[in-house]
Structure 1
Amino acid sequence: MEFVFDARMDGVRRAHWWRWSDMAGVDLYRDRMVYCGGIPYQGGRRAVVDRGVLSPTRDRLHLGTTKMTDAVLDRFLKDLRRFGADYMRGYASGCYLLARRLLDRGETYPLKAVLTSSDTLYPQYREAMTEAFGCGVFDHYGQNEDSLTANECVAHTGMHINVESCIPETVDDAGESVQAGVGRLVSTHLMNTTMPLIRYAVGDRGELGPFDADCPCGRHHQKLLNLDGRDDEIIETPEGARVGCGSLNQPMKHMAGQVGASQYIQRADGGLTLRIVPGPDFQKDATCAALARAVQEHLESAIAVDVEVVDRIPTRPNGKFQFIVRES
């Protein structure tokens, strides 16, 4: 599907980005930004992806996320230091890989803030970025169609929905309203009159907070309290349970030193393959057995779990990381 925006809607989108930057404490127009995501362009053409690309105004540094090997990450870190960034914005997985590489090298790089979007910000991503960059991490929720957008504030207790521009709802699989708890997110956009989207299913599952709830930051927007993953990022157990990616990082939560990165593959036969990149404390037999057991216990299921050890987990062609892959 192709989405159409007019000039007014483009201004609304920019206002949402400005609010996000303001919540994070950075100046959208004065601070120097490094953007970590996608494929950089230079002179209207795709640039190489193994080095940073400066914007024409020389106040933005673009780091591509489609080829983040250790050698490329080391080159990116040199570019980052040479550029002198004030803050970072980009894909959560790409920003995390930079942070993880810094920590693996025993280094840090101070920033005002890290602003993440586009793919899921897992707790271990946030922890690594906070340690590596010495600052807060502020997540943004949105889609290409901008039907439902929300920004994280300094309280880090959910994301404030941009309620001036949309009416969010949660529904069950039959399309009936869900009054409490996690449901499928749908939204009616109030600003894009060129292509109105009414009760549009954004493809994610999540939970909405109450209206007019107080937040320590002083704002009173309704919040998006949690995201449970995309509809196509759901594991189904033999017992009939459906589990989203927001929960599936839990088995690795206490194994950070043993597991550097992970990805679930739900095979066509219904079983799971858990791909992992070894961490510094990895012990092959013990770690793999503990992980398989932890996944089954977390899912409360007898589902078959195989653990596959890999050097790296590739991103999709757009540079984003996919935590759950479903084989057809």
Structure 2
Amino acid sequence: MTDRAVPKALLATLMGRRQAVPPVWLMRQAGRYLPEYRALRARKGGFLALATDPEAAAEVTLQPIRRFGFDGAILFSDILMVPWALGQDLSFGVGEGPRLAPPLADHALAALRPRPERLEPVYRTVRHVAAALDPATTFLGFAGSPWTVATYMVAGQGSKDHGETRRYAYRDPAGFSDIVDAISDMTVDYLSRQIEAGVEAVQLFDSWAGSLSPEQFERWVIAPNARIVAALKARHPATPVIGFPKGAGAKLPAYARETGVDAVGLDETVDPVWANGTLPVGMPVQGNLDPLALEAGGAALDRGIDRVLAAFPERPLVFNLGHGIGQHTPVEHVERLLARIRG
């Protein structure tokens, strides 16, 4: 179904109504590629200080909306806010990436003291943004999915193959299940509070879903995400949930069918024509331009845009990237993308 006159084009698309011109937002659209973001972060200091300052975080959320007029604003925060609220210490070293302590590879989950009050600044940020957004712009909240968040909690930092966490899950599935359950419970409350504060749809980021075998994918990706979605739907039945299982590949249709998400995000490795033919009929999709095509610009960018648009002739489409926008992406390339999509 196509609707040419829905005030919130993105929200309508996530609810299954195809738009004549697909709505656009970009993962990590609020961030380091924008000069206004770099200037604000230089004044505020480190990432965590910025993300926990409600006025500053709201400003970062709104910066790309003012500049580009995206159809969706994505909350400026981080997926590691949940482990921080579960009691791990969180830091962002310069050039090192995030660190969580103590790592659960050699410390007990039960030894952590939950600190849910650490999430209060996020809810205040949501309220600031919701009050300032144009009525036509959809406000998106988010959280990390349990598997991806667990990889950081177990190892204490990011890794290339998540081997330490995968070994932990095989060696002690009951213990790892306790970690996943704790993340899931906190995530339901976290997203529910975001919705109550003013977000209109939420996305579950499973950035490292592609590192799992099919059996482990069912257990540590599909099952906990289905549990989160069911709990959110019980509390907020009208709020769309987007699932983004990066690297899922051939497991993507099962994820779409079994988790209960309203829309599914495609990473840049997914053939959009294949996705259109294999995903549930009518399910909205989001994606999946290669972020490096956006960074490259020119003919490569134009071809990438056209390929995504052509792949979904009838399905509700939210145009996005296959992952986050790169910090070296020229602003004028984003402008070109929007001009090409919007004609």
TM-score range, shorter chain: 0.3 to 0.5
TM-score, structure 1 normalization: 0.34
Greater strand proportion: 1
Q: Which has the higher contact order (CA 8 A, sep 6+)?
A: 2
Larger proportion of helix:
2
When the two structures are superposed, what TM-score results if normalisation uses the length of structure 2? Answer: 0.33
Instruction: Report the structure number with the largest CA radius of gyration.
Output: 1
